[in-house]
């Protein structure tokens, strides 16, 4: 079985911006039970596929290539911040993605339709484009919660970066003790005739 996901990879500039935002939060919340995601491991995940048999991975690549050909590059704005499920009980700290044309959400819906034909279940909740900065391992202290709220509020109006998304990637994810290792299985350029 191959653990995999489909995502838009980030530029080095965006990763640097994420790293800087993380550093501010990390310094303010150093005694809290938070596991920080390495900036080089952050992607805009469009669909987590989980464990898939190798023959299905090939068919997923075909669906992804056809899907990408029907699109065109997207401009992404990275900024704002929040927590899932909410700031009263944060489990995941994230930075939001804004895609001004509104096409990204409908494209993900189209991708879900294509993958459903392979027997891959559609997501139960609506797609919310975001980048995960950290995961909260345990309940934060009252002081930590207050500090977190203040810092996330400060990030709301801040733009961390922007990039043009020109391709979508199918990644393999291997879980290791030091963290996940990602391997590119396929890169499908948006709006071109053949995948690279």
137-185 confidence digits (pLDDT tens): 999 999 999 999 998 887 777 788 999 999 999 999 998 887 789 999 9
In a domain, 141, yes or no: yes
Q: How many CB atoms lie within 10 A of CB 46?
A: 20
**Cα distances (angstroms) measured from residue 116 to each of 35, 106, 119, 131, 149:** 33, 15, 5, 24, 38
In a domain, 51, yes or no: yes
Tokens 């709220």, residue located: 149
In a domain, 194, yes or no: no
In a domain, 27, yes or no: yes
Query: Domain of 86?
Result: 2-189
Total domain count, the chain: 1
CATH of the domain at 129: 3.90.1140.10
pLDDT tens for each residue of 6-31: 999 999 999 999 999 899 899 999 99
pLDDT value of position 156: 75
Q: Is the pLDDT of residue 196 over 80?
A: no
pLDDT value of position 195: 40
Distance CA 79, CA 89 (A): 21
pLDDT band at 192; cut points 50, 70, 90? low
Distance CA 54, CA 75 (A): 33
Q: Is the pLDDT of residue 194 over 70?
A: no
Handedness of CA 19, 25, 29, 30 (dihedral sign): positive
Of 145, 134, 126, nearest to 94 (Cα)? Answer: 134
Distance CA 60, CA 39 (A): 27
First to last CA, the chain: 24
Q: What is the mean pLDDT of residues 78-105?
A: 92
In a domain, 196, yes or no: no
């Amino acid at each position: 079985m191959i653990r995999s996901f489909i995502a838009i990879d980030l530029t080095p500039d965006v990763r640097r911006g994420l790293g800087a935002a993380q550093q501010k939060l990390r310094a303010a919340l150093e005694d809290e039970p938070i596991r920080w995601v390495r900036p080089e491991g952050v992607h805009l995940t469009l669909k987590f596929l989980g464990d898939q048999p190798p023959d299905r991975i090939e068919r997923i690549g075909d669906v992804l290539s056809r899907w990408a050909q029907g699109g065109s590059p997207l401009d992404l704005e990275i900024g704002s911040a929040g927590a899932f499920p909410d700031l009263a009980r944060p489990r995941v700290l994230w930075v939001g993605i804004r895609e001004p044309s509104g096409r990204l959400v409908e494209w993900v819906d189209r991708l879900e339709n294509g993958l459903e034909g392979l027997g891959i279940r559609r997501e139960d909740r609506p797609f919310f484009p975001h980048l995960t900065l950290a995961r909260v391992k345990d309940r934060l202290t009252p002081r930590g919660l207050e500090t977190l709220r203040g810092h996330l509020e400060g990030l709301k109006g801040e733009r961390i970066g922007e990039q043009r998304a020109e391709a979508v990637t199918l990644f393999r994810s291997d879980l290791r003790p030091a963290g996940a290792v990602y391997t590119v299985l396929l890169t499908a350029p948006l709006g071109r005739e053949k995948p690279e």
